[in-house]
Amino acid sequence: MSEDGIAGVDQPQPQLHSLGNGRYVLQHLLGQGGMASVHLAHDKVLGRPVAIKTLHTELGRESSFRERFRREAQAVARLQHTNIVTVYDSGEEVFADGATVPYIVMEYVEGQSLRDVLNQAIAEHGAMPTEQALKITAAVLAALDVSHDQGLVHRDIKPGNVMVNTKGVVKVMDFGIARAMQSGVTSMTQTGMVVGTPQYLSPEQALGKSVDARSDLYSVGCMLFELLTGQLPFDGDSPFSIAYKHVQEEPPAPSGLNRAVTPAVDALVARALRKDPAHRFPTAEAMREEVERVAAGEKTGGTPLMAGPLVIGQGPSAAHSSGLKNFAPVPGDINTPTPQVQQPYQPPQAGPYGPQTPPPAQYPTPLGQQQFQTPPPAQYPTPMGQQQFQTPPPAFAQPTPTPAPMPVHGGGFAPVKANSGNGCSTALVVVGVIIGVIILFIIIIAIVVTKTDSSSSSLPSLTAHVAQLLPDQAQR
């Protein structure tokens, strides 16, 4: 036997060939850990294969530990559940040199350990699928619920202590270092060694405080974190550094390492890994129900609402706040849009050849009225003996459309400027008519004067009179 009490495959020892006064014949080593080794053995009395766990020699030397282990092994033997490896027997083997090796005879589970299943999933996918991880976790919690009802805390939940048989049934084993909650014994042995695996220790275990059922729930949270991400929540170079991280540091979110993990699963793991046991799930049954509820949401594609206590000061890690993350994100851009500032009216810049002629504005003609047109000049009869004077027709320019009114800052419209060409044409017509009337009036006066005064002496005065009238009319 080696110094640590583990019989290696390449170092067979005659005294470890059998246990229980020769009833259990050891065949080969199934696995070993930091505290115990597991052998496949044959029960000669009942003729069936069994698994036998032998504790290391340093633990077996402590009489108080052996007594406690004996009482707890008896309690574990009373546990009957589908997800718990059945304990058949327990005892102590005393060798010739005085060394005592406690052992437990258990049900032999044909299958793989959860550690092997996880390693295979990591090799294929990088981590275990979420649905499978939640299903295995729920089965482990169901087993812990039964043990906690019997007053037993496992204290060493990890993938290496969980088996999956050939039918996919999960089996929790290694209750051999479980502690009875009513015993009042701390998690420290008399040699000062912490019982459990450092990577899965609860903060209260690392500090050497008394533990209860919630300590196992912390270890389940560590195991679930590893199943989802393929990594441990806390790891280090030494057991002391790992224990320090369990006590002082916050674990990362699983979704930070595996984007397939949903916010609901993040919240579940975060609550299980709370430093304060009062902020974790109160019982294994409560945690199992939450795991099953989250798993149902994973199957249906929905996200169940997380019902947990609001912990002041925990920020986003609080259960209530984590539940708010489960709502679907608002689609589209949720940023405040850029305000639309209306610019004041800026007149168009004139080109190199002056402003362009604006399009004509069509004004409707009021009903019942006709469009105003400039009347033609009146025709007067020409006196006898005089050549008829005709006013030349005005040269009308092509009509230019009236420009549309331009908007101004006050909200109205700028007045429309009259077209200079149309105004000039109208003025010429009016002036021509006035001149024609004056000339006709002068001719009539001349005829009358000629008839009344036929003397030649009056002609110069008439001419002077006419000359005087013309400047006066021109001035008007």
Q: How far is the C-alpha of 3 from the C-alpha of 56, rounded, in Å?
A: 9
Structure confidence at residue 352 (pLDDT): 54
Query: What is the arithmetic mean of pLDDT over 159-187?
Result: 74
Q: Which residue, among 382, 58, 356, 386, has the nearest Cα to 193 in the 3D structure?
A: 58
Share of the chain above pLDDT 70, in %: 60
pLDDT band of 323, cuts 50, 70, 90: very low
Mean pLDDT estimate for the chain: 74
What would you report as the CA-atom Rg of the chain, rounded to the nearest whole angstrom? 56
The residues, any chain, with a CB within 8 Å of residue 129's CB and separated by 6 or more, are 121
Strand partners, 326: none
Q: What is the pLDDT of residue 8?
A: 37
Query: What's the confidence (pLDDT) of residue 385?
Result: 47
Query: CA 162, CA 140: separation in Å to the nearest integer?
Result: 8
Residue 438, SS3 per DSSP: helix
In the 3-class helix/strand/coil scheme, how is 332-383 assigned residue by residue?
CCCCCCCCCCCCCCCCCCCECCECCCCCECCCCCCCCCCCCCCCCCCCCCCC
Q: Give me the pLDDT at residue 325, please.
A: 42
> What letter would DSSP give residue 161?
G
> Residue 409 gets which letter from DSSP?
T
pLDDT at position 240 is 92
pLDDT at residue 390, as a whole number: 54
pLDDT digits (tens, 9 = 90+) for 97-117: 777 888 889 899 999 999 999
Q: Which residues contact 289 (CB under 8 A, 6 or more apart)?
A: none
CA angle at 219 for the pair 217 and 222, rounded to the nearest 5°: 115
Q: What is the pLDDT of residues 124-151, one digit of tens each?
A: 999 999 999 999 999 999 999 999 998 8
Residue 260 has pLDDT above 80, yes or no: yes
Comparing 217-221, 324-328, 391-395, 441-445, which segment has the lowest mean pLDDT? 324-328
Per-residue tokens: 446: 């001349």
> pLDDT value at position 170?
96
Question: Looking at residue 78, what is its pLDDT?
Answer: 84
**pLDDT value at residue 232:** 95
- pLDDT score recorded for residue 253: 95
pLDDT recorded at residue 63: 78
Of the two residues 416 and 275, the one the predictor is more confident about is 275
419-428 burial code (b ≥16 CB/10 A, e <16): eeeeeeeeee
Rank 65-79, 119-133, 323-337, 394-408 by mean pLDDT and report only the highest. Answer: 119-133
Instruction: Give the pLDDT score at 410.
Output: 47
Mind telling me the catalytic residues? 156
Assess whether pLDDT exceeds 70 at residue 73. Answer: yes
State the Cα–Cα distance between residues 340 and 328, nearest whole angstrom. Answer: 30
**H/E element holding 88?**
strand 87-94
CB atoms within 10 A of CB 31: 14
pLDDT the model gives residue 306 = 42
DSSP 298-318: HHHT--PPP-----TT-GGGS
The span from the CA of 32 to the CA of 54, in Å, is 10
User: What pLDDT, on the 0 to 100 scale, is given for residue 290?
Assistant: 96
Is the predicted pLDDT of residue 271 greater than 90, yes or no? yes
Answer whether 190's CB lies under 8 Å from 88's CB.
no
d(CA 296, CA 285): 16
Average pLDDT (303-313) is 39
Report whether pLDDT(74) > 90.
no
Q: What is the pTM of this model?
A: 0.57
Q: pLDDT at position 126, please? A: 93
Both structure tokens of 194: 């912490």
* 149 CB-side CA count, 13 A: 12
Q: Per residue in 191-249, pLDDT tens?
A: 344 556 889 999 999 998 888 999 999 999 999 999 999 999 999 999 999 999 999 99
Three-state SS annotation for 196-231 = CCHHHCCHHHHCCCCCCHHHHHHHHHHHHHHHHHCC
Predicted confidence at residue 328, as pLDDT, reads: 46
Q: Which residues pair with 152 in a beta bridge?
A: 180
CB atoms within 10 A of CB 133: 25
Higher pLDDT, 247 or 322: 247
64 — pLDDT class (breaks 50, 70, 90): confident
Report the SS3 class of residue 449: helix
Worst-scoring range by mean pLDDT, 142-156, 239-253, 287-301, 345-359?
Answer: 345-359
Percent above pLDDT 90 for the chain: 36
Count Cβ atoms within 10 A of the Cβ of residue 392 and give its class: 0-12 exposed, 13-18 middle, 19 or more buried. Answer: exposed
Start-to-end C-alpha separation, the chain = 146
pLDDT in tens, 406-463: 554 444 444 445 455 566 778 888 888 899 999 998 999 888 888 776 655 545 555 5
pLDDT reported for residue 95: 75
Residue 87 has phi, psi (to 5 degrees) of -95, 125
DSSP 3-state assignment of 26?
Answer: strand
**Taking the CB of residue 235, how many other CB atoms lie within 10 A of it?**
11
Distance CA(356)–CA(403), nearest Å, equals 11
Q: State residue 427's pLDDT score.
A: 83
| DSSP state letter for 37 | E
pLDDT score recorded for residue 378: 55
Give the tokens for residue 143. Answer: 């087993």
Band of pLDDT at residue 376, cut at 50, 70 and 90: low
